[in-house]
Amino acid sequence: MQFVVMKIGANIQMPEIIQQRSIKQRPKYLNLTEIRQPLPAIASIMHRISGGALFLMLPFLIYLLQLSLGAPSEFETLKTIAGSPLIKLILLALLWGFLHHFCMGIRILLIDIHRGVDLKTARASTVAVFCISILLTLILGVKLW
C-alpha cells in the first residue's frame, strides 16, 4: 500500500510517495472465544452491561418500590413476589450490577482526574473494583436474602 504525503513549507513541492512500513496483516477471521482481553477492558465492558441492565430493569424496580409504599395488601404482594427464589436471584444480580457500576464509576472518575492511569495502578484498581463489589454484594445479599 502507498499513501501520499504533502510537505508543507515555503516551497510546495511535488508529493512524495512513501512506502508504508510492513505492518502485520490483520486477521480476517476473529475467534472471539480466543481473544484475551485485559482485566480493565473486562471491567469496562461489565460497567456498560451493568448500566444497561439497571436501566432496563428500572420499571420492575419502580414497580417493587410502588408496592412497598402502598397499602398493606400491596406490601403483602411485594413480600410474595420477593419471596420467590428466582426473583431473589434477579434482585441479587441487580444489587451486584449496581455496586459494580458504582465502584467502577468511582474508578473512572479517578482516571478522569489522572489518578491511577499507569498500567500497574489501573490493574490494581480494577481488581479492587471487582473485590469490593463482590464483597459488598455478599454482605448485603446475606442481609437481604
In tens digits, the chain (145 residues) has pLDDT values of: 555 555 555 455 544 444 455 556 665 667 767 778 889 999 999 999 999 999 999 999 999 999 999 999 999 999 999 999 999 999 999 999 999 999 999 999 999 999 988 999 999 999 999 999 999 999 999 987 7
Task: Check residue 19 and give its pLDDT.
Answer: 47
Question: Which pLDDT score, from 0 to 100, does residue 27 have?
Answer: 59
pLDDT for the residue numbered 4: 52
Q: Is the pTM of this model over 0.75?
A: no
Q: Which residue has the cell 436501566?
A: 55
Q: Give the per-residue pLDDT at 18.
A: 46
Q: Is 87 left (phi over 0), alpha (psi -120 to 50) or beta?
A: alpha
Helical (H) or strand (E) element with 91? helix 85-112
Ordered domains of the chain (ranges, CATH): 44-144 (1.20.1300.10)
31-60 b/e (C-beta count within 10 Å ≥ 16 → b): eeeeeeeeebeebbebbeebbebeeebeee
Q: Measured between alpha carbons, how far is 5 from 138 in angstroms, rounded to an integer?
A: 59
